[in-house]
Amino acid sequence: MNKQQCVPSVLCYGFCFIVSISLASVDNTYAAEDLPMNPSAEKQSAGDQHQDNASWSSQQLDVLVLDIEDSITQLQSSVEQTNSTIIKLETLRRLQPIHPKLSILERRLAQTLSFWAVRFYNQLDYKNALHFAGLAKNIVPNQAEANQVIKLVTLAQQQRAEKINRATSAMPPAPRVHSQPQPQVRENTFLDSLNSDQRAILEELPQDVQAELINIIILDQQQITERLFDIRHVLDSVVDQMIKDNARAVMTSQSDSDARWIMALMKTRIRQINPYFELNLKKRISPGMRPNIALYAQ
């Protein structure tokens, strides 16, 4: 009886061993068949990850849109948010130029800036009126209120210039007692008035014995890097002096993109106050030098 019981056990073990080998070979066959599918699986995983990134970017854009809407609302009561609101809108333009709300935000911001342009015009503050009208036109070129303010300010400036010309032409000419100071005398007086920062820049400027230097204006690199429109006040004074003294300018910036941005602002200012003035402006790129504008007599 014991021998009869052992025989089935050996057979059973042998059968189980054969079955396990067969199953292993089947598993290997399936594994071999699955190998070509791995690249597709990796591609699908990469596609899913890209979709997640796109979803995250969309959420970030929604937050930015809400922030711009809040900034425009605040801008309706105060001009302090002007620069930051424009920068946020430019960011949205760069990240998603076909965003469905972009055109709506552009019109809202242009209308708000035009509101301030009209308000400053009514207060006879023509400088700020042109400034905000120009900002509105940069966002929406055909903004009606902004274009109207620019026309009205231009007309008012022309009338004022004509009034001054009539008043001065009616006055008898003053006797000329002293001749105009020689260029060398004027330049020596100007050099004596330079501060330490201007003198440091003067040493790095290219020396031209034929040129009469009349001013050195130091610019704020942070305002240039962040493209802040606060620098317009400095550039406006530079343009005003160029027109008044018929001066030419040499601008030094740390990059070519900075130079193009500054030149664009100056050209806009000249078109606003004297479109007939011929801007003589050259640029120099010097990454290690403080940005500045040197004015020379022509």
Sign of the C-alpha dihedral computed for residues 172, 175, 181 and 182 taken in this order: positive
- 18 domain residue, yes or no: no
> Rg of the chain over CA atoms, in angstroms?
36
- 45 domain residue, yes or no: no
3-state secondary structure of 279: coil
* Residue 159, pLDDT score: 78
Q: Are residues 134 and 188 in the same domain?
A: no
Asked whether residue 36 carries a pLDDT value surpassing 50, the answer given is no
Of 143, 168, 193, which one is at a domain's C-terminal end? 168
Q: Are residues 187 and 162 in the same domain?
A: no
Number of domains in the chain: 2
Phi and psi based region of residue 137 (left: phi greater than 0; alpha: psi -120 to 50; beta: remaining): alpha
Pairing of strands 281-285, 292-297: unpaired
Q: Which of 258, 254, 212 is nearest to 235 (CA)?
A: 258
* Residue 25, pLDDT score: 43
Spatial separation of the C-alpha atoms in residues 92 and 102, rounded to whole Å: 8
Phi/psi at 123 (5° precision)? -90, 5
| pLDDT tens digit sequence for 151-175 | 998 888 787 777 666 655 554 554 4
- 101 domain residue, yes or no: yes
- Could you identify the residue written with the tokens 């009869």? 4
- 14 domain residue, yes or no: no
Q: What is the pTM of this model?
A: 0.41
Phi/psi at 174 (5° precision)? -75, 140
Spatial separation of the C-alpha atoms in residues 247 and 252, rounded to whole Å: 16
Q: Which of 212, 208, 185, 240 is nearest to 297 (CA)?
A: 212
Q: Are residues 192 and 268 in the same domain?
A: yes
- Could you tell me the residue range of the domain that residue 126 belongs to? 56-168
Please give the single-letter amino acid code of residue 219: L
| pLDDT tens digit sequence for 160-219 | 777 666 655 554 554 444 444 455 545 555 566 677 777 777 777 666 545 788 888 999
Phi and psi based region of residue 291 (left: phi greater than 0; alpha: psi -120 to 50; beta: remaining): beta
- 38 domain residue, yes or no: no
Asked whether residue 233 carries a pLDDT value surpassing 90, the answer given is no
User: Sorting pLDDT into bands at 50, 70 and 90, what band is 135?
Assistant: very high
Q: Are residues 233 and 258 in the same domain?
A: yes
Q: Are residues 291 and 195 in the same domain?
A: yes
Q: Which of 127, 130, 124 is nearest to 148 (CA)?
A: 130
Q: Which residue did the predictor score with more confidence, 241 or 182?
A: 241
- The CATH number covering residue 265 comes to 3.30.1330
Report yes or no: 283 and 251 within 8 Å, Cβ to Cβ: yes
Q: Are residues 190 and 292 in the same domain?
A: yes
3-state secondary structure of 173: coil
